[in-house]
């Protein structure tokens, strides 16, 4: 397939595109483009976007006049509509090999690569050092273990649908940066909702 250069301002978003790009993600894409260049072509049908809505919007906001594109107008109307969804969904079905990912991120950080250009928030890859000193003091180990158990914070998994995840991530990040006790905020809300049902 031939790659051609097109003006992103001339491209028309697919009106039934079900994938939503937040301002936060668009800024991530812009940062990636600034670092690596625009090296992932968008897919178009004439001047209509099939895949690459986020990249196109980022290019427009960056003031780019040319971006690479591949025309897939050889596909049928039904195939184009299906591919808009498939292109977004199939990518989300992959999983990370956490061990390899950790090794790669650590190696890149040692090379002074800004991991935010990879789409990661620093809080996603931060690992705090574990204090094992409690295991070396046999005389006080029982007392220290009791203390650790009393102070242990317990976690409950909260699952978000795809369309809500990005907003939830940004809200959690917002309150975390303000040292808010998110657990209590959620607990208080759930308690209030339960009281409404009980009344």
132-183 pLDDT, tens digit each: 555 555 556 566 656 655 655 566 777 788 788 888 888 888 888 887 888 8
- pLDDT tops 80 at residue 111: yes
pTM of the predicted structure, to 2 decimals = 0.61
- Enter the DSSP assignment of 152: P
Question: Which runs of consecutive H residues, i.e. helices, occur in the chain?
Answer: 23-36, 53-62, 77-92, 98-110, 122-125, 141-151, 162-176, 182-198
**Per-residue model confidence (pLDDT) at position 129:** 47
User: Mean of the per-residue pLDDT values for the chain?
Assistant: 84
Strand (E) or helix (H) holding 67: strand 67-71
Helix (H, G, I), strand (E, B) or coil at 61: helix
Domains of the chain: 3-92 (3.90.1530.10)
pLDDT digits (tens, 9 = 90+) for 37-89: 999 999 999 999 999 999 999 999 999 999 999 999 999 999 999 999 998 88
Please state, in angstroms and rounded to a whole number, the distance separating the CA atoms of residues 81 and 71.
Answer: 15
């Amino acid at each position: 397939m031939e790659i051609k250069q097109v003006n992103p301002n001339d491209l028309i978003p697919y009106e039934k595109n079900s994938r939503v790009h937040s301002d936060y993600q668009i800024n991530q894409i812009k940062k990636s483009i600034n670092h690596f260049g625009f090296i992932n072509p968008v897919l178009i049908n004439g001047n209509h976007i099939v895949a690459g809505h986020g990249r196109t919007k980022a290019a427009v906001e960056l003031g780019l006049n040319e971006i690479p594109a591949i025309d897939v107008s050889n596909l049928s109307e039904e195939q184009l509509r299906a591919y808009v969804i498939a292109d977004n969904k199939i990518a989300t079905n992959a999983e990370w090999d956490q061990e390899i990912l950790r090794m790669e991120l650590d190696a890149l950080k040692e090379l002074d690569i800004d991991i935010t250009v990879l789409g990661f928030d620093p809080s996603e890859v931060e690992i705090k050092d574990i204090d094992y000193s409690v295991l070396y003091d046999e005389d006080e180990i029982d007392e220290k273990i009791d203390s650790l158990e009393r102070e242990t914070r317990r976690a409950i998994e909260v699952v978000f649908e795809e369309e809500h995840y990005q907003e939830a991530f940004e809200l959690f990040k917002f309150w975390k940066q303000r040292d808010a006790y998110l657990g209590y905020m959620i607990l208080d809300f759930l308690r209030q909702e339960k009281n409404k049902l009980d009344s």
